[in-house]
Structure 1
Amino acid sequence: MGQGNGNAPPHARDKRGEFLKGRPPVFKHSADPLQADDWLRAIERQLEIAQCDDKEKVLYASRQLQGVALDWWDSFRFGHTKANPITWAEFRSAFRTHHMPAGLMKLKKEFLALKQGSLTITEYHDKFIQLSRYAPNEVDEDGKRQELFMEGLNDGLQYQLLSHTFANFQQLVDKALVIETKRCQMEDKKRKFQGQQSRSNSHFRANPQQAQPQQRYQG
């Protein structure tokens, strides 16, 4: 009797192996909601790369939990009353609620109150991007992002940028960097000039006879 068409069954892709290949981080516990969110984002990225389905996402992600975080997951899983399996959306929501509760609201307030102050534009931009993920509704449009970024800038820089219109957020950041660089160059030149004047004045004070014209001897 024949063996069919002789084609071998397609080789099943090892999604877990592909997931682990990216060295997904382990999560135990952290009082800092940023670290919990960073873990979740890293795990999601690896799950997407491995093209995992909903069931696999929950299974693989939960295996990266240890210690107190694993205790939480066991408690949540055993207390799950629904007949259907836990979805990735449920896992994600429950994880964020448990590990990033009050901290999220605090970080959102910190973002909305963020000011440049003594920060450079690069430092302010990095802080802005880092905290903006805790206020997604406030930055879900490019115009909103530009407005909030502009409001946090120091008054002098903000005044120089108000007369411009920017096609997107990155253009605003780039222009702010250009102005900051030019301002730093001008301040550096001013300091050097003032330093030269100060050294010149000190020289004359130390040698007053050089500062006065010599008088001719009257016989």
Structure 2
Amino acid sequence: MATQTQLLQAIANNQGNRGRSSFGEFMRTKPPTFATAEEPMDAEDWLRIIEKKLTLVRVREADKVIFAANQLEGPAGDWWDTYKEAREEDAVEPNWEEFTTAFRDNFVPAAVMRMKNNEFRRLQQGNTTVQEYLNRFTQLARYATRDLADEEEKIDKFIEGLNDELRGPMIGQDHDSFQSLINKVVRLENDRKVVEHNRKRRLAMNRSPQTAPQRPKGTTSSAWRPTVVTTSRPAASSNFHRPVTIQNRAPAPNQAATGSQSIEE
């Protein structure tokens, strides 16, 4: 690090004398530092920003790697130190092309880029809101630049991933721009939410209220039981104590004849 600092100072002094950009001018552009990235495109973004700032202050090709490497910190700085030590001793200093290639191979691997591209192609709204779907769409679209050649293809891909109730109305419309499409979808989603809210509210108002019996104050839930009101009804009459009346009836003629005949016999 001490050697690199001395080299940067020497470059700044020499370039200042020749009217060229100095390291100080480069640092006044506030170039971002880089340590690690959760998403591969974060590393790609850092590299592109650094390239723009190097071009802005017209840094010489021989100095680009030194200026950019100075902005590597933490794991990224350790990676660059290891990379240089692994090179042959008699090898010349790495140029900008070698630096960008090695940086992308390590922090923007092609396998991860393909994985992100495939994820973008399978992207669907699902249970998310339109805004959440848009955020994920925008994030993954950076890995699928070949699939989105123009804004029309971007519009078609976004509509394709919408849920059925939102995709149908959007297919039959003309969209001036991608932002115009987003505005329409967001309004449609909000309108559907309002309609659903009003429907549930009407259903709740139409239901008959059901109130639970109030528990007297000072009583516990285990000791208190709601009062049950019963309707008194007259007891059913019982035949157990009813007097029995025996009536003597005259025997039927046939029975009398039969009886007298039996006696005679």
Query: What is the TM-score normalised by the length of structure 2?
Result: 0.60
Distance in 2, Cα, partners of 1:56 & 1:197:
77
Aligned partners of 1:16 and 1:50 also within 8 Å: no
Match of 2:77 in 1: 70
Distance in 2, Cα, partners of 1:92 & 1:107:
21
Match of 1:178 in 2: 187
**Alignment-mate amino acid for residue 102 of structure 2:** A
Counterpart of 2:146 in 1: which secondary structure? helix
1:106 CA displacement: 1.2
Distance in 1, Cα, partners of 2:91 & 2:170:
54
Aligned partners of 2:40 and 2:107 also within 8 Å: yes
Q: Which runs of 5+ in 1 are unaligned?
A: 1-9, 208-219
Query: What is the TM-score normalised by the length of structure 1?
Result: 0.71
**Alignment-mate amino acid for residue 97 of structure 1:** D
Distance in 2, Cα, partners of 1:49 & 1:192:
61
1:134 matched to 2:143? The reply is yes
Instruction: Give the length in aligned residue pairs.
Output: 194
1:36 to 27, 31, 43: 43
- Tell me the percent identity: 33
Larger Rg: 2
**Alignment-mate amino acid for residue 91 of structure 1:** F
What RMSD in Å do the two structures reach over aligned CA positions? 3.4
- Structure 1, residues 33-80: CA drift from partner, whole Å, max 9, x if none? 24423433554565466565655543322211134423443426946x
- Structure 1, residues 8-53: CA drift from partner, whole Å, max 9, x if none? xx99586644543454332233464244234335545654665656
Match of 2:115 in 1: 106
- Structure 1, residues 103-152: CA drift from partner, whole Å, max 9, x if none? 21111111111111122111111111111111111113111111111111
Distance in 1, Cα, partners of 2:56 & 2:190:
39
Match of 2:6 in 1: none
Distance in 2, Cα, partners of 1:162 & 1:28:
44
| Pairing 1:86-125 to 2, within 5 Å after superposition | 86-87=95-96, 90-101=98-109, 102-125=111-134
Distance in 2, Cα, partners of 1:146 & 1:138:
12
- Report which structure shows greater RCO (CA 8 Å, sep ≥6): 1
**Alignment-mate amino acid for residue 167 of structure 2:** Q
Distance in 2, Cα, partners of 1:44 & 1:146:
31
Match of 2:224 in 1: none
Q: Which runs of 5+ in 2 are unaligned?
A: 1-16, 213-265
1:180 CA displacement: 1.0
**Alignment-mate amino acid for residue 196 of structure 2:** E
1:25 matched to 2:20? The reply is no
Aligned partners of 2:35 and 2:75 also within 8 Å: yes
